Amino acid sequence: MLNFLRRFIYQFKEYILFVLLVIISLSLLASNDKPEVKRIRTFALGNFAVVNSLLNYITDLFKSNPSYYQLKEENARLMLEINRLRKEGIENENLRTMLSIPDTIHYKLVAVDVVSKLVNRVQGNFILNKGLSDSIRVGMPVISSKGLVGLISDVTENFSVVKTLYNSSLNIAVTVQNINVDGVLSWNGHELIIKNIPTTYEINVGDKVETSDFSSLFPPNIPIGVISKKESLALGLLHTIFIEPYADIRSVSNLFILKVVPSKQINQLEMNLMK
């Protein structure tokens, strides 16, 4: 042991002497109250503090700090919460926009969510999360924030089925706004069409289509869509016009039911015709 200490002191005597002199110097500086020494001491301590804080920062980067992982977890939770709030914000904006649909504001609106979509080429039906317990009845119209979506066709205690515009059994009396031409809107399995419109009427792409005053299923003036194209039949006497709906029916998730109870007798006749 003594031999090891002798060898150690002999090999590092210059460093040991330097450290001892530094310690002595610092002790003398700490005990000296002369102004010049105070300035030197203040300068030395200030630089030492800077170097020490830098070393501590570098050391912390390589330390396994539990709070670091807690902060990451909290950031992940906040990200999920922000995403949820963003989605709810979009839904809220859609619901607010709903109130701007003309000529329906005097009807009571019931907010509903789509819980299931049963859609094929011919039959397009949605299941909604409101039913008899919410005073929903067969024949009530269903709208989105942009326009007409369909009609309630069946109701249970807590759920209801809506026939959408993309259902071939739903035929709707409609009007082309600009020229007040009436027709019947239907789904042919590919597109929404209105058949047998006389070519004598000046119908243009972009003209707006809405529910007609002659419909007993729907209140008048509910927006449906715009004319996307038109085709003349072989003799050139009649038009078939194609409608692009305002509502993005395949992607809607928040809807409103208009609490309108039409004439039961006429409604029953029209509902039977749709079957």
- pLDDT tens across 17-31, in order? 777 777 776 666 555
**Structural tokens at position 207:** 């003209």
CA atoms of 94 and 113, how far apart (whole Å): 12
Q: What is the mean pLDDT of residues 249-262?
A: 83
CB 138 within 8 A of CB 155: yes
Reduced to 3 states (helix: H, G, I; strand: E, B; else coil), residue 98 is: helix
For the ranges 61-65, 143-147, 193-197, 229-233, which has the lowest average pLDDT? 61-65
User: In the chain, how many domains are there?
Assistant: 1
Contacting residues for 159 by C-beta, under 8 A, at least 6 apart = 115, 127, 128, 129, 130, 131
pLDDT at 267 over 60: no
Residue 96, in any domain of the structure:
no
**Mean pLDDT across 202-229:** 87
CATH code at 208?
A: 2.40.10.350
For residue 3, being part of any structural domain is answered with no
Q: CA-based Rg of the chain, rounded to a whole angstrom?
A: 39
Cα→Cα distances 246→184, 216, 222, 238, Å: 17, 22, 11, 25
Q: Is residue 74 part of a domain?
A: no
At 230, list the tokens: 């038109």
Is the residue at 160 inside a domain?
A: yes
pLDDT (mean) for 141-163 = 90
Q: Are 101 and 147 in contact (CB under 8 A)?
A: yes
The Cα 218–Cα 139 span in angstroms is 8
Cβ(104)–Cβ(143) below 8 Å: yes
Residue 268 maps to a domain: yes
* Most confidently modeled range among 69-73, 118-122, 160-164, 176-180: 160-164
What domain range is 262 assigned to?
109-274
Report the pLDDT value the prediction gives residue 14, as an integer from 0 to 100.
74
Classify residue 37: in a domain, yes or no.
no
Question: Does residue 95 lie within any of the structural domains?
Answer: no
Distance (Å, rounded) from C-alpha 53 to C-alpha 236?
88
Q: Has residue 49 been placed in a domain? A: no
